Amino acid sequence: MFSNSNILGPLFWIIMGVLYMVFITGLVVWLKDLNIKMNWWKWSLVLLWFILLSIIIAGGFTLIGENEMRAGLLFIAVPGAVMIVAGVALSRFLFRNRHEKQNN
Amino acid sequence: MKNKIIDSIIVLSVGFVVIIAAVTGKIIAEKDDLKLIGSILKPGEELQAVNNNKHILFDERGEAYGFIYSGEGRGYNGKLRVAAVSDTTEVIKSVQVLTNKETPSFINRLFRRNFLARFEGIRFSELAAGDKSVDAVAGATITSSAIKEALILGFTAGEGLQQNNNFNISAGWPELMVLLLFLISALISVKKFSAARKYLLWASWTLSVIFLGFVLGQPLTLPRFITLFTGYLPDPGGELYILLIPVLAVGFILISGKNNYCRSVCPFGATQEILGAIGNASHMRLKRFRLVKYIQWGITLLAVVLALVMNNPSVAEYSVFGAFFQLTGTALIFILLLLSIIMSLFFRRPWCNYLCPVDGVMAYFRTMRRAVISIFKR
Amino acid sequence: MNKIDRRKFIKSAGLAGGALSLAGAAGAGYSAGADKDSYTGYGRTNYGEDQFFNRKPFIVDNPTYVKKGEPVRITAVEDIFKRNGMLSRLMFSRGDIEPAWKPADGIDALPGQLRDYYKANPGALEEFIKAMEKGRAQRANWEKYRDKYFIADAWSTAHSSPIRGRGAFPAEPRDRPEKSDFRGVNKVKLEPKSPSHASELIKKICYSFGASLAGIAKVKKEWVYQGSLRGVGREDYEVPSHWKYAIVIAVPHEWDSMYANPTYGTSYDAYSKLRFIAGKMEVFVKELGYSSRPHVPPTSYDLVMPPLAIDAGLGEQGRNGILITPELGANTRLAAVTTDMPLEPDKPIDIGVSRFCEKCKICAEECPGGAIDFSDKAETVVRGYKRWKIDQNKCFTIWNSVATSHARGCRVCLSVCPYSRKNNWVHSFAREVDPRDPTGLVASGLLAMQKKFFNYPGGQEYLPPPDGNNRTFGEAPEWMKTDEWFKI
């Protein structure tokens, strides 16, 4: 990562960490506002989905970085399509038992 | 009354266009055999015909050094002509496919994988007697068997040997699976079973996606209809079920007027239904539904006419089935597939409703049935 | 009001954060793929860190090659280079002298060894004549492709310079092994603390000389050539008793050019590296007070390398006949140094290569010459061991057919092999998980992805027109493309 600099590499991962934190914080607020009750295994499912998606994207781009454009795109497209379907299924599942909308 | 006349006009005019296209395609003559075989010669080499299937090969010094045998095999979309160069001891030196009508991505897969090179060094007599065998390539079974068939036929006919013409129809689990799926589709229409309808549909969809889709990879496609229309039958001993599907699909439409194939047998239709269930898909309401439908059918008609005129059914292949079940196809097809998958989550059967070429064929047969019935009722 | 704004801010920041983190994952992935540290053999080699695969869990007592019948030592005529050399000297004599043999004379007019070989291998002689024809066409066509492969050809020639003629390093032995292997041995000799200390040190020195992989094997008689010995010539001989151990070293070809085989890559980059490493190792061992003899590519061997490397635990044999190692896949080139220094041999490993090769067959499908066996199991018995048959003669015809300035190899079977992968997290996953999976499901899944996702042009496509389109498996690196740097 950033072979010409030994500053940007660590900085990149610090920023990534911040982004994950911001994402999770935002997600908590979203779920609250959508009246979706979460528990530990629902959270694990959501995070597992997100981590898998990240791995698929990172893996595909690794292949693209290796000059394997076709393989990289298919690596993203095929499991990516499965992830989209799984994402829709997961969100329907989360929305299924949500509480009546409250006024806040 | 007015509708009936329109029906008849549509049926007749579409039929007329298709027949004209087919005749045009046939008139554009097939290439001369000798010319085709001549194209594989090296400079200075010459040929002398012994019969239609056997030629003697002379080198530049005028010495006979081998033979070329050529024959036909029954491929997926049509006959393919294959020529093989052998030395004087009948050992195959090289194999070439002279003409074929297979889907390019299909047959290219064979060529790419050195399939033709696998015959090199085998004696014709051993190949014909089945002593030495070249295995069919997974994913292109029919085409690879057809090449082998052509080689054996070319040799036996060229040498005037007894041809091994045993016509053995063999049916296995794929045929049973197709029959089962159509049986379920018929049960679904029966009023008595309306309570079980939902379960029957789901059973059928699941079976279809797994077996017809991923295992066999043989949903009904436009080229299949075109080859049947032009009177070509692939080797029925090999894969009977690929004939069974179109016959049953059209048969149900003509007899009952119900499109059983699309509803419950088609594996990609089933895929869309499953995706729709996951995403709780709704029916898409288009303002100009009729217009979109005519465009869809128009494209199908255009593809059929083009394929017939060019005398090559594979031209009409624009479905996403291959891309979904076998991961083969062009980039455009893959994009179309991805869109169809994502759309299927939110709308019921987007591919069937707006793009599928088989839908047009089925609609045509339904209209035909209606027109015929109306004539007899009068 | 204020509160709602804050919520809205957190919500949109969360969305943006999620999207950006996915983009970050893409960027991290991309740089992992493009990272030069993943170019095994071109990064951390000198500290031994390119031999990163932990072989311990896969150590087996017996090597994975299958013995069938009585082992036979390889003779010079069975080695394609030596055989072609013998035949060429007969066919293409220097000056105005009539050639000693022409194809019209027939096989029976050939001298003993050659006649026996070509009688036992029908079609091999025709294949050689075909190769010569193809070679003529190759030279005639070279002008058409010269500009395109200008840099690649120059690069290859530069790499071949330490290999040829009087300046070659290491120098060819000019004496019997009993003499030449001891020439220059240091009179001072320290006793190693133990053979395992000696082995460890030797491997560390191998790495410091630039070897990506190093292993130690006991010299088995059946891996030693018969009938020709460097420094002596054609004679039958017993294996010298001081050839006790072999230090086996392996390096890869430069990865990007290797993927762009057959036209951009070369064999000589790895060959010259190996010659330097083995040549220096010869001197190092002699300085320690022990005999040594280097065995280096392209043809300066008295031992057959792949089985020796299998004994040394570096890898296993693949369908393409090449040693496949966990770190380098089929992109593995071998040299060895034989010595009487007391060393501790390494144990062979089993990472399931033959099980994978039974299913894969990509190399057979992609071989431009159809020289690689398609049969499921390795059934052909060669000199007492089972293996997949390689038609050397067909292979050599392709060397003479592909668009290079002269017959300098093809190596497509190295590029297309699914094991030939760089060292990044995606491939390391496959590398580590597959050999630990007893069911073979991981291998099948990976293989399906390999075949569907990657673009395999197919054997014929690597040939020049009219047979093919001069395709390469991977795209050539920018630094090899002439039009990027020169006015053409």
Q: How far apart are CA C459 and CA C368, in angstroms?
A: 4
- The whole-number pLDDT of residue B236 equals 58
Percent of chain B with pLDDT over 90: 19
Tell me how far CA of residue C258 lies from CA of C92, C262, C268, C477, in angstroms.
Answer: 32, 8, 11, 10
The CA-atom distances, in angstroms, between C393 and each of A85, B143, C141, C189, C401 are 52, 30, 22, 47, 13
Look at residue C3 and tell me whether its pLDDT is greater than 90: no
Q: Which domain holds residue A22?
A: 1-33
Q: What is the pLDDT of residue C486?
A: 95
The helix-helix angle for C392-399 and C124-146 (nearest 10°) equals 20
Q: How many CB atoms lie within 10 A of CB B290?
A: 9
Q: Report the domain count for chain A.
A: 2
* Average pLDDT over chain A, rounded to an integer: 88
Assigned domain for A104 exists: no
Write the pLDDT tens digit of every residue in B162-185.
766 555 556 678 888 889 999 998
Rounded mean pLDDT of chain B? 83
pLDDT at B36 over 80: no
Nearest Cα to Cα of residue B33 among B60, B54, B58: B54
Q: Under a CB-based contact definition with an 8 Å cutoff, are residues C21 and A23 in contact?
A: yes
Ordered by start, the domain boundaries in chain B are 2-26+171-377, 52-158
Nearest alpha carbon to residue A27 among A43, A48, A13: A43
Within this chain, do residues A22 and A62 fall inside the same structural domain, yes or no?
no
Q: Does the domain formed by B52-158 have CATH 1.20.272?
A: no
Domain contains C2: no
In a domain, C63, yes or no: yes
Based on the fold, state whether residues A42 and A85 are members of the same structural domain. yes
Phi, psi of C51 (to 5 degrees): -95, 75
pLDDT of residue A104: 42
What percentage of chain C carries pLDDT values higher than 70? 99
pLDDT tens for residues C153-203?
999 999 999 887 778 899 899 889 999 999 999 999 999 999 999 999 999
Average pLDDT over residues B370-377: 82
For B186-232, how does the pLDDT look when each residue is reduced to its tens digit (9 = 90+)?
888 888 888 888 899 999 999 999 998 888 887 888 888 888 888 77
Tell me the C-alpha distance between B142 and B216, whole Å: 12
Distance in Å, alpha carbon of A103 to nearest chain C alpha carbon? 13
Q: Span C248-255, mean pLDDT?
A: 96
**Helix, strand, coil percent values for chain B (each to nearest 5):** 60, 10, 30
Considering the domain boundaries, does residue A77 fall inside one?
yes
Asked whether residue C476 is domain-assigned, the answer is yes
A17 & A57 share domain: no
Q: Contact partners of C by the rule of 3+ C-beta pairs under 8 A?
A: A, B
pLDDT at B169: 59
Domain with C47, as residue range(s), is 40-74+142-485
On chain B, the residues whose CB falls within 8 A of the CB of C452 are 327
Measure the CA–CA gap between B195 and B175, rounded to whole angstroms.
28
Element (H, E) at B46: strand B46-49
Neighbours of C467 (CB within 10 A): 13
- The model's pLDDT over B112-170, given as tens digits with 9 standing for 90+, comes to 778 888 888 788 888 877 766 677 776 677 788 888 888 888 888 888 877 665 555 56
Residue contact A84–B278, C-beta within 8 A: no
Residue A103 lies in a domain: no
Return the partners of chain A (3 or more C-beta pairs < 8 Å).
Answer: B, C
Check whether the bond before C466 is cis (ω within 30° of 0).
yes
Contact status of B345 with chain A (Cβ, < 8 Å)? yes
User: Residue B225 is inside which H or E element, if any?
Assistant: helix B222-229
- The ipTM of this complex is 0.86
C127 inside domain: no
Split at pLDDT 50, 70, 90, the class of C260 is: very high
Cβ proximity of C92 and C86 under 8 Å: no
> CA-to-CA distance for C204 and C369, rounded, in angstroms?
40
Interface test with A, best of B325, B339, B343, B345 (most A CBs within 10 A): B345
CB contact under 8 A, B338 and A85: no
If asked whether residues A23 and A55 sit together in one domain, one would say no
Angle, alpha carbons C387-C78-C460 (nearest 5°): 65
User: In angstroms, what CA-CA distances link B4 with B276, B285, B370?
Assistant: 35, 27, 8
**What SS3 class is residue B87?**
strand
CB B112 within 8 A of CB C456: yes
Q: Does residue C280 form part of some domain?
A: yes
Whether A48 is covered by a domain: the verdict is: yes
pLDDT at site B170: 63
Could you tell me which of B258, B113, C33 has the C-alpha nearest to residue A59?
Answer: C33
- Residue C236 sits at the chain A interface (C-beta within 8 Å): no
- Tell me, yes or no, whether A50 and A24 share the same domain: no
Q: What is the mean pLDDT of residues C450-470?
A: 88
Contact A57 C22 (CB under 8 A): yes
Q: How many domains does chain C have?
A: 1
Give the best residue of B275, B324, B326 to mutate against chain A (max A CB count within 10 A): B275
Give the pLDDT confidence score for residue C86 in this predicted structure: 87
Q: Mean pLDDT throughout A75-81?
A: 92
Average pLDDT of chain C is 91
